[in-house]
Amino acid sequence: MKYTNLPNTDIKVSKICLGTMTWGNQNTQDEGFAQMDLALDKGVNFFDVAELYPVPATAETYAETERIIGNWFSKTGNRDKVILASKIAGPGDYTAHIRTTGFSKGALNEAVDNSLKRLQTDYIDLYQLHWPERETNKFGVRDYVHDANDKWEDNFNEILHNLDKIVKSGKVRQIGISNEGAWGTMRYLQESKQHNLPRLITIQNAYSLLCRPFDSTMAEVAHRENIGLLAYSPMAFGVLSGKYIKGTAADNARLKLFPRFARYSGDQATEATKHYLKIAEDNGMSLAQMSLAFVNERPFLTSNIIGATNLNQLEENIDSINISLSDDVLKAINEVHSAIPNPAP
């Protein structure tokens, strides 16, 4: 395994992070336990969860993934071996079963305290805001279109003040954001600098061969402000395994169970995936490992959040850390990206 530090800290994390959002829906507790055992054995010390998980989010399964992790900590005593990240759910119809109070002081305190109970721990290493409160282009929306009726009011300072109290209480060590853009990221950083408030150290956004908007303005923000990318969906919901093109997807594959998750399944994304599959096969790699190796090597990456529904997938995904892509492979990848840029933003 390879390791790096969470930016601006001495917290060492594996460059592969274990994603957990299938546990409690596609995966049972026992299967989640087995994945955590294997990951830790292979040097993965960074686990990412959210109160929202498992996905798709429902009232019936709310926070089951955190409970599974907490039960594993209780059973194994491995809490001190894991750097743990979780998130508070953002507002919207999708999360109305959780709360409708956004990132208010009460919501943040409630979310942190309840996560700590479910996770059976006294602290969370990295606590993240799962997506912005304001109306903006997130979750695969390509362009920002201003809504003149948006009633959101700038509350970056208020959120950071409330997080500051939580950090000082010892319940959270560091803070980050997710599904954010350049403007929101810089506003948080500006408030931190001007008012001596906790500084964001990471941003968790989608990043894969099919989804590279981060390479634009966010890459410059990441480099100049030293905020690290935690890349999620590096396999594009499993599309970048090639199994849907080849017709080998199992019955419990995510897109067979949940076809409405079509972000990476459009015609352009499928066409690009076919080209990437050929590059991988021509160079003696699986598409999965090439896709993950590409993300692992990005200069702004702090950790690559991989997920799997079985141990064979998980082992293959973790082993991508040992693959280095040649200049010729990178050139071929970028030629496809140039011809079909960001087919799944």
Name the amino acid, one letter, at 24. G
Decide: 121 and 70 in contact? Cβ < 8 Å. yes
Does residue 53 have an active-site annotation? yes
CA–chain centroid gap for 139, Å, is 12
Marked catalytic residue, from 53, 62, 207, 276: 53
Name the amino acid, one letter, at 98. I
Q: Which residues of 267-306 are buried (b: 16+ CB within 10 A; e: fewer)?
A: eebbebbebbbebbeeeebbbbbbbbbbbbebebbbbbbb
Burial of 120 (0-12, 13-18, 19+ CB in 10 A): middle
CA–chain centroid gap for 59, Å, is 22
CB-based contacts of 220, cutoff 8 Å, min separation 6: none
CB-based contacts of 244, cutoff 8 Å, min separation 6: 238, 253, 255, 265
Q: Which long-range contacts (CB under 8 A, 24 or more apart) does 262-267 make?
A: 263/139, 263/140, 263/236, 263/237, 263/344, 264/208, 264/210, 264/211, 264/233, 264/236, 264/237, 264/239, 264/240, 264/344, 265/237, 265/239, 266/343, 266/344
Please list the active-site residues: 53
